[in-house]
């Protein structure tokens, strides 16, 4: 059983950039509308990342027209075309659920310097 799970993990895993909670990411997701397929870009702060092998996922939060919007993406899904890390945030927690109660300047996250 463990061998089968390892082979499944190796074959289905997709190469993704390294990011954590607090980072601002731009996710390019494939959206199917009828017979058409297009790429929809969703940019926001990662408030949660769940690392569970092949079923890993992450939640991105953004403010659209004054309303908070959260969307959860599977990390290894073929519907996620590309993930770009816009900036790295400096936070001390894994889950940033406290951002749901903050708006405007209070919801800012300091930038983390990343060495080259």
What per-residue confidence (pLDDT) applies to 17? 85
Q: Which domain holds residue 84?
A: 2-107
What per-residue confidence (pLDDT) applies to 66? 87
In 3D space, the residue among 84, 97, 95, 11 whose CA is nearest the CA of residue 41 turns out to be 84
- Are 71 and 60 contacting, i.e. CB atoms less than 8 angstroms apart? yes
| 25 is a domain residue | yes
| 113 is a domain residue | no
| 116 is a domain residue | no
- Angstrom distance (rounded) from CA 58 to CA 73: 6
| 88 is a domain residue | yes
| 58 is a domain residue | yes
What is the full per-residue pLDDT of the chain (116 aa) written as tens digits?
666 666 655 566 778 888 999 999 999 999 999 999 999 999 999 999 999 988 999 999 999 998 999 999 999 999 999 999 999 999 999 999 999 998 888 888 998 887 76
CATH number of the domain that residue 18 is part of: 2.30.30.790
| 115 is a domain residue | no
What per-residue confidence (pLDDT) applies to 116? 61
The pTM for the full model equals 0.82
What per-residue confidence (pLDDT) applies to 98? 93
β-sheet bridge partners, residue 104: none
What per-residue confidence (pLDDT) applies to 29? 95
| 112 is a domain residue | no
What per-residue confidence (pLDDT) applies to 6? 64
- Angstrom distance (rounded) from CA 24 to CA 63: 13
| 76 is a domain residue | yes
| List of residues 6+ apart from 78 with CB closer than 8 A | 14, 30
At 55, list the tokens.
């079923």
Taking every pair of Cα atoms in the chain, the longest distance, rounded to a whole number of angstroms, is 50
Domain count, the chain: 1
């Amino acid at each position: 059983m463990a061998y089968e799970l390892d082979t499944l993990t190796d074959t289905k895993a997709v190469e993704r950039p390294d990011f954590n909670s607090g980072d601002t990411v731009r996710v390019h997701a494939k959206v199917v509308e009828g017979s058409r397929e297009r790429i929809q870009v969703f940019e926001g702060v990662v408030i949660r990342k769940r690392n569970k092998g092949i079923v890993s996922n992450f939640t991105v939060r953004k403010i659209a027209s004054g309303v908070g919007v959260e969307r959860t993406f599977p990390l290894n899904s073929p519907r996620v075309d590309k993930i770009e890390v816009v900036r790295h945030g400096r936070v001390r927690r894994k889950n940033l659920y406290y951002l749901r109660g903050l708006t405007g300047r209070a919801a800012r996250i300091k930038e983390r310097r990343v060495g080259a």
